[in-house]
């Protein structure tokens, strides 16, 4: 490698080390970003999945109704107006580097970007960003600060007086504060994480492909997506919520049953190496490593899987990440997790995460 190329790699590595690490189980790359990772892992680089800073959405979405059923939750058109669905509010998201699903919000009237992360239990903000939004640790009495434990870490808790996204008003919310270094990279910059406390609290329906999230306003309104999903050739997979709130789905490899953590904050689907070893699946090393929010860093390998099924849905043959996943990711309450279902697979398989009916739809 030439000295110029080496210098370039060093600069890129330093830049990646400055990325914010707010995700619960999500990981960040310590090399040259998503395109390098795709090549190292032998993954196909899909323009609509592996988005760069220069990518811009060219199509917008609107709602179509089929006999009163929200058909366009499963599809998209090229109109610029947001969908209108009685009892729901639609919020648009966009993808940044490393497949980050990012929602533009306002916190106490200040603009911010939040990573939409179903692997995070609650709303988390970078401590420095939070201070600029007027969110500071809440004190109990004169001496004590309230803390929340996330992945074994005690994080101080503040309070956001108002959180909005587009025309959706989430009201006030407690916020866990994590000391991190900002990822100041244009469209990839995030100030924190939008977790399950907000997503589940408002019965969100997340369409990973059309980049829309529907939040339920009328809690009495019933919307059964299963019949429409079946007509659109989606496969329904039940979501299970563990004792600690984590979402998981059943899967199988070589007929061996397992469970996957559903994590929109993870950029790539990754399995624990012990599962692959027990199944005799060989993996190849890469020069890529991942840094988890707990502070652990692990090298990632690659392995070809031809018979992965999520529920009854057969995933197309592909190479997936393999690593020694940290214990906080593997043990979700009494549920043993064998891998993380990340945004690459969710996008490719047209995933719709229905947190009202507690189903995952794939096709």
CATH number at residue 316: 2.40.70.10
Question: For the residues 82-110, what does the mean pLDDT come to?
Answer: 90
Q: Which structural domain range is residue 101 located in?
A: 65-228
**18-22, 38-42, 231-235, 248-252: least confidently modelled range:** 18-22
166 vs 34, residue with greater confidence: 166
> 112 and 237: one domain?
no
Region of residue 358 (phi > 0: left; psi between -120 and 50: alpha; otherwise: beta): left
Q: What integer pLDDT is reported at residue 355 of this predicted model? A: 96
Pair (192, 294) in one structural domain: no
pLDDT of residue 5 exceeding 80, the answer is no
> Quick one: pLDDT at residue 329?
64
pLDDT band at 293 (very low <50, low <70, confident <90, very high): low
- pLDDT exceeds cutoff 50 at 66: no
| pLDDT tens per residue across span 231-280 | 889 999 999 998 888 999 999 999 999 999 999 999 899 999 999 999 99
Rounded to the nearest 5 percent, the helix, strand and coil shares of the chain are 20, 40, 40
Q: Cβ contacts of residue 238 below 8 Å, gap of 6+? A: 249, 250, 311, 358, 359, 360
Which residue's structure tokens are 């107006």?
81
If you average pLDDT over residues 172-190, what whole number do you get?
A: 73
Mean pLDDT of all residues belonging to the chain: 77
Instruction: State whether 117 and 30 are in the same domain.
Output: no
Residue 157 lies in a domain: yes
What pTM, to 2 d.p., does this model score?
A: 0.77
Question: In the prediction, which pLDDT does 299 show?
Answer: 82
- Give the up-direction half-sphere exposure of residue 332: CA atoms within 13 A in the CB hemisphere: 29
Final residue belonging to a domain, choices 228, 251, 283 = 228
* Domain identity same for 168 and 310: no
């Amino acid at each position: 490698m030439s000295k110029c190329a080496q210098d370039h790699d060093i600069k890129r590595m330093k830049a990646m080390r400055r990325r914010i690490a707010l995700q619960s189980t999500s990981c960040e790359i310590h090399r040259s970003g998503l395109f390098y990772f795709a090549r190292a892992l032998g993954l196909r680089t899909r323009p609509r999945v592996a988005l760069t800073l220069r990518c811009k959405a060219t199509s917008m979405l609107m709602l179509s109704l089929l006999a009163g059923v929200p058909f366009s939750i499963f599809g998209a058109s090229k109109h610029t107006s947001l969908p209108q669905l009685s009892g729901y509010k639609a919020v648009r998201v966009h993808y940044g580097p490393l497949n980050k699903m990012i929602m533009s919000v306002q916190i106490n009237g200040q603009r911010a970007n939040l990573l939409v992360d179903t692997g995070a239990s609650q709303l988390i903000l970078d401590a420095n960003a939070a201070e600029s939004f007027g969110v500071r640790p809440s004190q109990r009495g004169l001496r004590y600060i309230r803390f929340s434990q996330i992945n074994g870490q005690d994080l101080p808790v503040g309070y956001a007086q108002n959180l909005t996204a587009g025309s959706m008003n989430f009201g006030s919310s407690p916020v866990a504060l994590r000391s991190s270094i900002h990822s100041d990279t244009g469209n990839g910059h995030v100030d924190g994480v939008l977790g399950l406390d907000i997503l589940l609290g408002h019965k969100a329906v997340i369409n990973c492909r059309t980049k829309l999230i529907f939040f339920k306003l009328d809690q009495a309104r019933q919307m059964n997506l299963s019949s429409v999903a079946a007509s659109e050739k989606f496969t329904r997979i039940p979501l299970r919520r563990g004792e600690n709130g984590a979402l998981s789905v059943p899967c199988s490899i070589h007929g061996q049953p397992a469970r996957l953590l559903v994590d929109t904050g993870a950029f790539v689907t990754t399995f624990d190496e012990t599962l692959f070893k027990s199944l005799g699946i060989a993996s190849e090393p890469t020069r890529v490593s991942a840094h988890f929010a707990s502070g652990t860093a692990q090298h990632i390998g690659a392995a070809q899987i031809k018979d992965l099924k999520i529920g009854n849905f057969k995933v197309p043959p592909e190479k997936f990440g393999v690593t020694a996943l940290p214990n906080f990711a593997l043990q979700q309450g009494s549920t043993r997790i064998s891998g993380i279902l990340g945004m690459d697979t969710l996008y490719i398989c047209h995933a719709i995460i229905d947190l009202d009916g507690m189903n995952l739809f794939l096709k």
